[in-house]
Chains A and B, each alone.
Chain A
């Protein structure tokens, strides 16, 4: 049994209560949601919060809600819920691609989207998913609510824009017509962190050209989406030679480190290979995705 350093525990009853607890217990308090990243780090004594504030009773943050041209996902939505949601599968197939390869069913039953994003592990998958879907983070704190683009949300490995006295409450995703998205990961074993993963989202104009595209990479030191690769594709019809060029540029943009999962060269190769794969898949999905009229019908 691995034993964490001593800590105290409080269970929040509402968002307001969680914020009050954070305020009361100060900088050494940490929010715990699913706990599948934080608790192992505590057991290894790599993380040593003095207070854990448990938000698992905040059922008001567990939702998936279509709101006009937005999909709103509560921060306490479990991975399993995201994986099994037909609505999400229809709008953003990248979620099912990614969720299927996040950890294992036991972890997915407990882990949450908010927890994953706030933990900010550099090999965490949903960061790339939210980046390429151009999500927005809704954060509440003592001064009220603020909304940040994902590019402003991430501040580097294990760091986000969420202040010590704030709480990530939901993530909002714009819904676009004729869009498709995909995610692919290479791992040493099911449930291992990614060696490299890539995600892409595209939306097509009426003439079939790429109206917008976002490409992201996981676990290779890239923050935000890869503008160089995106620029190659925007305004063009999807074509294999463009995917190849986008992959090449993604590999150049990647900044991996060598570790037990692989050397730098291999990770750069995967950045290229997986970028091509997710672009092919996302474009193919966009081509068959419903037009705005059928969506509203």
Chain B
């Protein structure tokens, strides 16, 4: 497959330099963003619009004794104050989550996490709404909180979800994958077994734009228009139909420009529902936009996995098996967004990139008095945790065997000829050439030279570390027969119309939060039908204007909607052949395609361009039987499998021996996402994901005190990496197309977030290994690194 056309980014380049399809072009959406003309939820102003604010619980676990709203209602400008009792009357106090649980929209019985929604004030402006929150008097009867997930299943632990009938503990689910008996047998006879507890602490996606909504309920015809920060507008429409009881054809969800998602905007938050209730109650549009602290404290967190991992190998370094038991902290409600069959997401890809003889995992989910969520922050449905587990274990094994970690990986990779490869937990990896990517990464890094430098520095007492991570992702959920979210199959629609003059509009179901959909999807159409990307408008984010689909998360846009768009373009191309044949008074089978036109075989000068065919279709050409008068098509693409992008990352760190401060000096990222549609966008995604990885590895954690108070409720406490903490990224790529995807593309959105944290942690452990350090948990803050250097590394939770 020919795919990469690497043009330099140059807006002034002539037409000849612009790729008619794949290649490096500047993003079509950027002119409006760089000129401050993006249009976000908070930019929406509707006539008569009111403003909502949420009163949140200051405590983590408490019986609600009473709420007095009289003073708030009397505050100038306040129109309504809504409590849980009011919602009970409307049957809206509890809403279904994306994981077959329910979540309180407003507290009715007791508070289950700090920051939980207690009351909603609607006022004429947001200042009055905010001020009125302080006038609501709430009496809480504080209860002991379950904060430590390790103690959540203790017999004497307070029960978080005592409203569920018969519930006497905090257990949510047990799930397993792989073969326990087979795995245990291999472990029983293995030469070498390495065990390590690995904690992936709770972090937060923290998009630049917080969550918000503008609800506009029209009482006369019963229609609801809901502008919201949603990564999945169609799924939200269906859920709102179920939650609010509004017929689905009366609901329109508009997700305008979105300032970052990272999984944070997949779920339906109480605030969205409250904006809708506020609009129904007042008869006016209601805007609600959360502030930064609300976003960090109440919306979907990420990770929070405590993993006990073990790896078995021969003494020569042949890896035989991996097993793990995971304790998953899901917070107060099971609100994670996973395909129904997989309560731990795709964690069972923890077998990594290695040809194993056996593997087994168990995952136990528990309730605690913390904010709900669990799948967010570019994690590819828990692949992040899985990759971290296996890549830390492989490094620990290398240390135990006194082998070079690159050599150990090269020795155990799945070989190119083994693809499609069925792993021991049920995945069918589509394609890969791992050794090629690993060797390229080592070449860019100058791996041998780095090891030499490290040796010299160690002799001088300097702490330099080199860390490797080789990841295999599983993205593009997914085949309908295996994957659904709350019963909605994970297939995506696409519609393409070619206007009479040969300009086009493609309508897609996935919603961009910064991924560059308006460019990438135009390039796919351009590649398939040969009209320039700038002549193709991409419509997304409005359920009234786009076909059904499950939304943007888990790196699924290109694998699923990208496939849909390629197929719909091919459908149009095929239809164009019949119309061209009619126009040329020849048979369709006598025509041949070159990008942009059908021509007569053997006589290339006789042909019709797509624009000419479009005019013909909409004009007066006599159309063949069964061909109607347009050049439009629609498809729904049900992917046959997921796609399995992979990458080889190498990180170089320096640790200050006196302070424990870590500097990421170099980072080499070789990614393979199959066919590369726009290399510039891919690199941007990789740069962002690597920066995320530095954040998680070095500084990010949402911590709680013993009472369940959130200690990370602002950007003073929850740290976002800056340009000062990251090196100049060194990227490279290989191309191993997906054999089952229409254009051979795999997802790239989360590869770097998934792959980079273990490379950084492996580098830090490598740097500290002369001091006897074999493990350190994230975040590797100066204090935690220093403690590890003193031989007192401790888990963050």
| Contact between B131 and A188, CB atoms less than 8 A apart | no
Chain A residues with Cβ below 8 Å from B703 are 260
Is B783 positioned at the interface, with any CB of A under 8 Å from its CB?
A: yes
Instruction: Check B781 for interface membership: any CB of A closer than 8 A.
Output: yes
Question: Is A270 in contact with chain B by the CB < 8 A criterion?
Answer: yes
- Give Cα A189 to B782, complex, Å: 10
Q: Across the interface, which residues of B come within 8 angstroms of A273, CB to CB? A: 658-659
Known: A195-B782, A262-B783. A3 touches B127 (CB 8 A): yes
A40 CA / B714 CA spacing, docked (Å): 10
Contacting residue for A263 out of B130, B721, B783, CB 8 A: B783
Cβ A44 vs Cβ B722 within 8 A: no
A262 to B661 Cα, complex, angstroms: 12
Contact between chains at A262 and B781 (CB < 8 Å): yes
Residues of B within 8 A of A270 (CB): 659
Complex contact B659–A260 (CB within 8 A): no
Specify which chain B residues have a CB less than 8 angstroms from the CB of A5 in the assembled complex. 131, 134
Q: In the complex, which of the residues B291, B699, B787 contacts A188, with contact meaning CB atoms closer than 8 Å? A: B699
Count of residues in B whose CB is under 8 Å from the partner chain: 31
B658 close to A2 (CB less than 8 A): no
Contacts of B724 in A (CB 8 A): 189-190
Contact assessment for B699 and A6 in the assembled complex, using a CB-CB cutoff below 8 Å: no
Is A269 close to B, CB under 8 A? yes
Known: A189-B699, A189-B722. A195 touches B783 (CB 8 A): yes
Q: For residue A193, which residues in chain B have a CB less than 8 angstroms away from its CB?
A: 716
Annotate B718-744 by CB proximity to A: 1 below 8 A, 0 otherwise. Answer: 010110110000000000000000000
Cβ-defined contact, B719 with A3, below 8 A:
no
Is A192 interfacial (CB 8 A cutoff)? yes
User: What's the minimum C-beta distance from A234 to chain B, rounded to whole angstroms?
Assistant: 25
Q: Mark A56-71, 1 if CB is under 8 A from B, else 0.
A: 0000000000000000
Interface size class of A (residues with CB under 8 A): 20 to 34
A104 touches B126 (CB 8 A): no
Q: Contacts of B716 on A, CB cut-off 8 Å?
A: 40, 192-193
Verify if A261 is at the interface (C-beta below 8 Å from B).
Answer: yes
CA distance A260 to B786 in the complex (A): 14
Nearest neighbor of B786 in chain A, beta-carbon distance: A266
**0/1 per residue, B382-417, Cβ < 8 Å to A?**
000000000000000000000000000000000000
B488 touches A (CB below 8 Å): no
Cβ-defined contact, A3 with B126, below 8 A:
yes
Within 8 Å CB of A40, what residues of B?
716
Q: Residue on B with the closest CB to A266?
A: B783
User: Does A292 count as interface, using CB distance less than 8 angstroms?
Assistant: no
CB neighbours (8 Å) of A277 from chain B are 658
**Smallest CB separation, B317 vs chain A (Å):** 37
Find chain A residues with CB under 8 A from B787 CB: 263, 266
Q: Nearest B residue to A263 by beta-carbon distance?
A: B783
8 Å CB interface, A5-30 against B: 5-6
Q: CB of B86 within 8 A of chain A?
A: no
- The digit string for B119-155, where 1 denotes a CB below 8 A from any CB of A, is 0000000110011001000000000000000000000
Counting CB contacts under 8 A, is A175 at the interface? no
B101 within 8 A of A: no
Instruction: Provide the residues of chain B in CB contact with A192, threshold 8 Å.
Output: 716, 719
Closest to A3 in B: B130
- Please tell me which one of the listed residues B42, B127, B725, B782 contacts residue A186 in the complex, with CB atoms under 8 A apart: B782
8 of the cross-chain contacts (CB-CB < 8 Å) are: A188-B698, A188-B699, A188-B782, A193-B716, A261-B781, A261-B783, A262-B786, A266-B783
Seen from chain B, the residues whose Cβ lies within 8 Å of a Cβ on chain A are 42, 126-127, 130-131, 134, 289, 291-293, 658-661, 698-699, 703, 711, 714, 716-717, 719, 721-722, 724-725, 781-783, 786-787
Which residue numbers of A lie inside 8 Å of B, CB to CB?
Answer: 1-3, 5-6, 40, 44, 104, 186, 188-193, 195, 260-263, 266, 269-270, 273-274, 277
What are the 4 closest A-B residue pairs judged by CB atoms, nearest first? A262-B783, A190-B724, A3-B130, A2-B291
